Amino acid sequence: NAGVTQTPKFQVLKTGQSMTLQCAQDMNHNSMYWYRQDPGMGLRLIYYSASEGTTDKGEVPNGYNVSRLNKREFSLRLESAAPSQTSVYFCASSDQGQSTEAFFGQGTRLTVV
């Protein structure tokens, strides 16, 4: 089993460009999440999907959109990248909600110049 797979691993964007981060899990989990990790701070929730067909805003949703394509896949889109979105992005999944054990992807290191 691959667990949670994120692509790409690294990306450099120019301000104003758009991109989509892809995430897929093969554990048949109901819930999926997108977090960002910045130096000196804990992971912060951007968006989550409690189950297939639903998405909800997390703590820092501005500038992002998400799509729960099916039970396996949950993508994160930056429509117009800004330098403040330079960060490491993690996708995660869990069986039932945020309070249960989450499994994380390897992360995407995004730099916006």
Instruction: Tell me: does residue 4 bind another protein (CB under 8 A).
Output: yes
The contact mask relative to another protein for 66-95 (x = CB under 8 A, - = no) is ------------------------x-x---
Between 17 and 37, CB nearer to another protein: 37
15 or 54, CB closer to another protein?
Answer: 54
Residue 59 amino acid letter = E
CA–CA separation, 98 and 9 (whole Å)? 24
Closest approach of another protein to the CB of residue 15, in Å? 26
Tell me which residues touch another protein (CB under 8 A): 4, 35, 40-45, 90, 92, 97-99, 101-107
